[in-house]
């Protein structure tokens, strides 16, 4: 072992210098997996996944792509881009893909913000926002939710000349609440046109409230609006990692520059194309989940819980100090939910049996309150 130029003694191991900012960044916490094997089997309601297996056409296309593992994927994702351009009636130059929409969100921050800049979002919202913001060196501006939903007036008031990007998570993860057309338009009219507003619509397909605008319609005549979508939720491809953005130039071009080269595998690209082509069948499954969401929300409300109206594939219970206790009770009953310690629990709408287990656990817990 030798000393370094800083004069450390031979006993002090020399470690690579890492950026100090990393010390303050929590590692992204995935939803707890379901248990299998020897212990009691549990259902995973902790990651907002789709409980259904892939549709047959999707499986076949993935198996077909698996024959070319030795080759890099199509870096431009041309087949998928063409399919998306047609499906959403947007120019292919307005599209960019990434490793899940969280990958695209990180590309967006890299393209817009760095040290000295600000990235704004409601809080609590998607837990990746603070992480990817800090990695960039920019500061987070977190505007508290009011009544479990975005306070867009407060967010517009909080814009400064350092704001570079604002996330609006619609519906919001983890509360499931939405922002509707008039309030969103009022907000967009107030935000300076050189600040990028990202409408994160990871759960778009689950929305049934007609007052919630489709971000892709909103983006068309607003050059500072970008829409994020994913194949992970309704389309059931969470494990394949593919998401995309719809944005005007030069934002879409910047996203292509900040992408990890070859980040979206050929399996993911082909599965996404096949999913778009089986959309009708997929959307039937989404409809079933929306029905389950209504059933679970109504049953929880009847048990005495306050359930914010959710337009996503999950519901939110604000449990405060009892959050961890509730999550543990659910686990004992066979369902893993997502606790946010001291705040509340997010419960994914899953298969009927899983939802039933959740409802009985919630009822038993309620009786002990």
- Report how far residue 281's alpha carbon sits from residue 285's, in angstroms, rounded to the nearest whole number: 7
What minimum distance in Å lies between the beta carbon of 226 and ligand PMP?
Answer: 13
Determine the residue with CB nearest ligand PMP. Answer: 100
Q: Which residues bind ligand PMP (CB under 6 A)?
A: 48, 100-102, 126, 169, 173, 200, 202, 230, 232, 238, 243
Secondary structure (3-state) at 318: strand
Secondary structure (3-state) at 114: coil
Dihedral over Cα of 128, 131, 135, 136: its sign: positive
- Report how far residue 233's alpha carbon sits from residue 201's, in angstroms, rounded to the nearest whole number: 11
What minimum distance in Å lies between the beta carbon of 203 and ligand PMP?
Answer: 7
- Report how far residue 220's alpha carbon sits from residue 283's, in angstroms, rounded to the nearest whole number: 25
- Please, which residue, 100 or 339, has the CB nearer to ligand PMP? 100
- Please, which residue, 155 or 333, has the CB nearer to ligand PMP? 155
The burial class, CB within 10 Å (0-12 / 13-18 / 19+), for 28 is exposed
What minimum distance in Å lies between the beta carbon of 59 and ligand PMP?
Answer: 19
- Please, which residue, 251 or 299, has the CB nearer to ligand PMP? 251
User: Nearest 10 degrees: CA dihedral of 313, 350, 175, 255?
Assistant: -50
What minimum distance in Å lies between the beta carbon of 100 and ligand PMP?
Answer: 2
- Please, which residue, 264 or 327, has the CB nearer to ligand PMP? 264
What minimum distance in Å lies between the beta carbon of 280 and ligand PMP?
Answer: 22
* Straight-line distance from the first to the last Cα atom of the chain, in angstroms, rounded to the nearest whole number: 61
- Please, which residue, 232 or 359, has the CB nearer to ligand PMP? 232
What minimum distance in Å lies between the beta carbon of 157 and ligand PMP?
Answer: 23
- Please, which residue, 169 or 264, has the CB nearer to ligand PMP? 169
Secondary structure E strands in 148-254: 163-169, 196-200, 225-230, 243-247
């Amino acid at each position: 072992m030798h000393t370094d130029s800083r004069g450390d003694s031979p006993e002090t191991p020399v470690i690579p210098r890492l950026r100090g900012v990393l010390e303050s960044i929590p590692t992204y916490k995935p939803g707890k997996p379901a248990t299998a094997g020897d212990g009691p089997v549990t259902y995973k309601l902790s990651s907002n996944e789709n409980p259904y297996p892939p549709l047959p056409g999707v499986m076949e296309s993935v198996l077909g792509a698996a024959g070319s593992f030795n080759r890099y994927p199509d870096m431009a994702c041309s087949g998928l881009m063409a399919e998306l351009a047609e499906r959403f009636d947007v120019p292919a130059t307005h599209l960019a893909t990434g490793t899940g929409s969280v990958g695209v969100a990180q590309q967006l921050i890299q393209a817009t913000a760095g040290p000295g800049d600000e990235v704004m979002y409601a809080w609590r919202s998607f837990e990746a926002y603070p992480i990817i913001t800090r990695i960039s060196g920019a500061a987070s501006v977190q505007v508290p939710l009011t009544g479990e939903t975005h306070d867009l007036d407060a967010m517009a008031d909080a814009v400064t000349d350092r704001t570079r990007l604002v996330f609006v998570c619609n519906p919001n993860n983890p509360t499931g609440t939405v922002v509707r057309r008039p309030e969103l338009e009022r907000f967009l009219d107030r935000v300076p046109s050189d600040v990028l507003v990202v409408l994160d619509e990871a759960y778009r397909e689950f929305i049934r409230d007609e007052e919630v605008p489709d971000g892709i319609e909103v983006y068309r005549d607003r050059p500072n609006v970008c829409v994020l979508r994913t194949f992970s939720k309704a389309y059931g491809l969470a494990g394949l990692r593919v998401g995309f953005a719809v944005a005007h130039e030069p934002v879409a071009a910047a996203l292509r520059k900040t992408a990890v080269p070859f980040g979206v595998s050929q399996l993911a690209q082909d599965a996404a194309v096949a999913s778009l082509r089986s959309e009708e069948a997929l959307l039937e499954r989404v409809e079933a989940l929306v029905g389950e969401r209504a059933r679970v929300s109504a049953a929880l409300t009847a048990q005495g819980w306050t359930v914010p109206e959710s337009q996503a594939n999950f519901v939110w219970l604000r449990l405060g100090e009892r959050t961890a206790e509730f999550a543990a009770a659910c686990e004992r009953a066979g369902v893993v939910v997502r606790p946010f310690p001291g705040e509340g629990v997010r419960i994914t709408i899953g298969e009927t049996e899983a939802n039933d287990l959740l409802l009985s656990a919630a009822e038993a817990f309620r009786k002990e309150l």
